[in-house]
Amino acid sequence: MRITITARHTEVDDDLRAHTRDLVEKVVKLVRRPHHAQVIFTEDHGEAGVEIEVHAPRGRVHVAKSQAADHRSALDAAIARVKRQLLDGKVTPRARGTARRSRAPETR
């Protein structure tokens, strides 16, 4: 899977890039077959911001944005948000042996 890390109006060091890549790879495991993920770091008036997009099959795009005093805090909050989105969208499959039964009203 391809992970794109972009910095707009700011500089991102190699340690933060590696940390970001590790976190995104862990979170993306919740998607069955992810296409790609994009992480955008921004800086606006001294406030750091992070936006994460995870592109999943069937055109689903999960987006999480966060702003904080520094990039690591914003990254952690955005990762938590996208993780919650992916867990909420996950459907647990039924066991194969159990079938649905409709109860017909009994007549006497």
What pLDDT sits at residue 104?
Answer: 67
Question: Mind listing the pLDDT tens digit for each residue in 75-87?
Answer: 999 999 999 998 8
Q: Could you tell me which residues come within 8 angstroms of residue 5 by beta carbon, excluding any fewer than 6 positions away?
A: 12, 17, 20, 21, 39, 41
Question: Mind listing the pLDDT tens digit for each residue in 15-60?
Answer: 999 999 999 999 999 888 889 999 999 999 989 999 999 998 888 8
Unique residue bearing structure tokens 């017909």: 104
Question: Based on the number of CB atoms within 10 Å of its own CB, is 74 exposed (0-12), middle (13-18) or buried (19 or more)?
Answer: buried
What pLDDT sits at residue 101?
Answer: 64
- C-alpha to C-alpha distances, 66 to 18, 52, 74, 95, nearest whole angstrom: 19, 9, 5, 38
- CATH class of the domain at 2-89: alpha beta
What pLDDT sits at residue 39?
Answer: 97
Give, to the nearest 10 degrees, the angle between helix 71-89 and helix 14-28.
10
